[in-house]
């Protein structure tokens, strides 16, 4: 839509307020609202001012003034507000220079798309993330100088099989048995369907929804692939809708990768393909129906995966999921059909149009704009430098001998290791000024200061079990 069309659209829907959404650096949507009478066509160029020093990882207080510039192509009516509200996703601009802000994640994603076209490798990169999440009934947590705990609960949790519920009707998925059971064991089908319907009202195309493997309400809703920036926008709407629909029902959602001990964590397997014109350049006659370019792209992702993890698995909790010897794909290898490899080539369809690679390491705690941009830059580096991915690993990784497994590299074992890898390997991200040194340095500083150090300095409840009587 043009700015004029946006205003007409808002009037047709009797908009009273305008919600201006933008992404902070770590990956949460921020917003503020203005009355609809404050929106005119000039606002799509002049923007609205706000305090950038109050946004995590952004401006110092002595240079805090910034502008949000609404993107007219993102206009929709927000489905969760009490009064009719037009929603616009915004880009961030310096009010003096009018330049796009280097730490605006959406700007980084847009520059990645531009760099793809500049290379001549392709015109568009498609991303299809499978974001898993948990729907809980209750969550409590606290941490102070003398105590620390978390407590979560779900009516579906197998730990409640003996609880007095007056009556307890059973039908609670056992650990690792939550994949695809019908109701009443799957008690959340209708809520997930409501989430799907809200998504489709806003233009997201949904392919399926289902219960996931873990007990206690693990879920998955799959969106159809979309271009990089569009998928970054879609993923934010996805999280917003999932959380707000759950709230309607007195429930809560988390995208933490590993909230439940002893059961599967939540991943975000991400399907990737690059197209040039009407041709999928990842389709060919090489291994698993891939092209030479696709194999080089795999080589780039595998080579840079330790650094990529700083964006695709960006929390300390991410590495409670990425543990060798369990379900998560920590092994830096590729294979057709083998889900224990970091990169899988789906074999569902023989059509060249469906050919893609599936990067299985990421998790849904990531900032989608940054994660997708980083994945694309790694793939392009592989293509540009003809990085050989080596031979595929079609064996069962969990059946390899220790000697064989020692030959397969793995992902970092902690956020600290991933940040160190990014510090040592980020030249591929700087191409085309997609990621700037300023953005990478702030990411490293923010993550270390606000996440790595606070976790490292606090005692863990289980340490008392292990060590109190030493």
Give yes or no: 42 in active site.
no
- Please indicate whether residue 130 is annotated as part of the active site: yes
Helix 437-447 / helix 292-312 crossing angle, nearest 10 deg: 50
3-state per-residue secondary structure call for 174-195: CCCCCCCCCCCCCCCHHHHHHH
Write down the catalytic residue from 106, 269, 271, 426: 269
Find the catalytic residue in 41, 45, 51, 463.
Answer: 51
If you write DSSP's letter for every residue of 364-375 in order, what string do you get? TTS-HHHHHHHH
Sequence-ordered list of residues with C-beta below 8 angstroms from that of 138, at least 6 positions apart, any chain: 151, 152, 153, 154, 252
Q: What is the spatial distance between Cα 145 and Cα 125, in angstroms, rounded to a whole number?
A: 48
Of the candidates 104, 156, 186, 220, the residue annotated as catalytic is 220
* CB count in 10 Å sphere of residue 100: 16
| Contact status, residue 289 vs residue 283, Cβ threshold 8 Å | yes
Other Cβ atoms closer than 10 A to 153:
15
Q: Indicate which residue of 358, 363, 416, 451 is catalytic.
A: 358
Rounded CA gap, 212 and 217, in Å?
Answer: 8
Tokens 């606070």 correspond to 454
Annotated catalytic, 132?
Answer: yes
271 catalytically annotated: no
Residue entry with tokens 């889900």: 339
Return the closest-CA partner of residue 204 out of 233, 228, 178, 173: 233
The one catalytic residue among 19, 130, 222, 451: 130
Instruction: Reply yes or no on whether 41 is catalytic.
Output: no
Q: Which of 132, 263, 363, 416 is catalytic?
A: 132
What does the alpha-carbon distance between residue 130 and residue 117 come to, in Å, rounded to a whole number? 26
Which stretches within 13-127 are classed as H helix?
A: 43-46, 105-119
**292 included as an active-site residue:** no
* Residue 428 CA: distances (Å) to CA of 149, 183, 389: 41, 48, 17
Q: Find all residues with CB under 8 Å of 102, minimum gap 6, and list them.
A: 108, 436, 438, 439
Of the candidates 71, 186, 212, 416, the residue annotated as catalytic is 212
Catalytic residue among 224, 339, 386, 460: 339
Six token digits for residue 388 = 């050989």
Among 459, 259, 228, 248, which residue's Cα sits nearest to residue 363?
259
Distance CA 112, CA 431 (A): 9
Which residues face 30 on adjacent strands? Answer: 22
Given the residues 198, 360, 363, 381, the one annotated as active site? 360
377 contacts: CB under 8 Å, gap ≥ 6: 112, 115, 428, 429, 431, 434, 435
> What distance in Å separates the CA atoms of residue 390 and residue 413, rounded to the nearest whole number?
23
Q: What is the dihedral of CA 154, 156, 162, 166, to 10 degrees?
A: 80
As annotated, the active-site residues are 51, 130, 132, 212, 220, 269, 339, 358, 360
């Amino acid at each position: 839509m043009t700015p004029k069309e946006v205003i007409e659209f808002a009037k047709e829907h009797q908009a009273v307020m305008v919600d201006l959404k933008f992404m902070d650096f770590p990956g949460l949507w921020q917003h503020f609202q203005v009355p609809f009478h404050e929106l005119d066509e000039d606002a799509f160029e002049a923007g609205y001012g706000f305090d950038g020093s109050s946004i995590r990882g952004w401006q110092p207080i002595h240079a805090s003034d910034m502008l949000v510039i609404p993107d007219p192509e993102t206009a929709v009516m927000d489905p969760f507000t009490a009064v009719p509200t037009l929603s616009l996703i915004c880009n961030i601009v310096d009010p003096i220079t009018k330049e796009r802000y280097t730490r605006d994640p959406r700007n980084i994603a847009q520059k990645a798309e531009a760099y793809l076209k500049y290379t001549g490798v392709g015109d568009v990169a498609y991303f299809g993330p499978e974001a898993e999440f948990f729907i809980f009934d209750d969550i409590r947590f606290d941490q102070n100088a003398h105590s620390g705990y978390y407590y979560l609960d779900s009516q579906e949790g197998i730990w409640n099989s003996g609880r007095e519920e007056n009556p307890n009707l059973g039908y609670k998925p056992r650990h690792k048995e939550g994949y695809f059971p019908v109701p009443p064991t799957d008690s959340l089908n209708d809520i997930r369907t409501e989430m799907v319907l809200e998504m489709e009202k806003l233009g997201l195309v949904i392919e399926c929804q289902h219960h996931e493997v873990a007990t206690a309400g693990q879920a998955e809703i799959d969106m159809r692939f979309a271009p990089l920036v569009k998928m970054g926008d879609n993923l934010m709407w996805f999280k917003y809708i999932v959380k707000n629909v759950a709230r309607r029902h007195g429930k809560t959602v988390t995208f933490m990768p590993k909230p439940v001990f002893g059961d599967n964590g939540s991943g975000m397997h991400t399907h990737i393909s690059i197209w040039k014109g009407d041709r999928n350049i990842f389709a060919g006659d090489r291994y698993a129906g891939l092209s030479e370019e696709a194999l080089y792209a795999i080589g780039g992702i595998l080579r840079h995966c330790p650094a990529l993890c700083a964006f695709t698995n960006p929390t300390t909790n991410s590495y409670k999921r990425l543990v060798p010897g369990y379900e998560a794909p920590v092994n830096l290898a590729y294979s057709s059909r083998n889900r224990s490899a970091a990169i899988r080539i789906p074999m569902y369809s023989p059509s060249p149009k469906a050919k893609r690679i599936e990067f299985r390491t990421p998790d849904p705690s990531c900032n989608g704009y940054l994660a997708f941009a980083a994945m694309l830059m790694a793939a392009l580096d592989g293509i540009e430098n003809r990085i050989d991915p080596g031979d595929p690993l079609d064996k069962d990784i969990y059946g390899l001998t220790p000697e064989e497994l020692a030959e397969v590299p793995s992902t970092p074992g902690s956020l600290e290791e991933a940040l160190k890898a990014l510090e040592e390997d980020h030249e591929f991200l700087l191409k085309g000024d997609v990621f700037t040194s300023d953005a990478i340095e702030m990411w490293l500083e923010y993550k270390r200061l606000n996440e790595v150090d606070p976790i490292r300095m606090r005692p863990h409840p289980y340490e008392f079990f292990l060590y109190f009587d030493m």
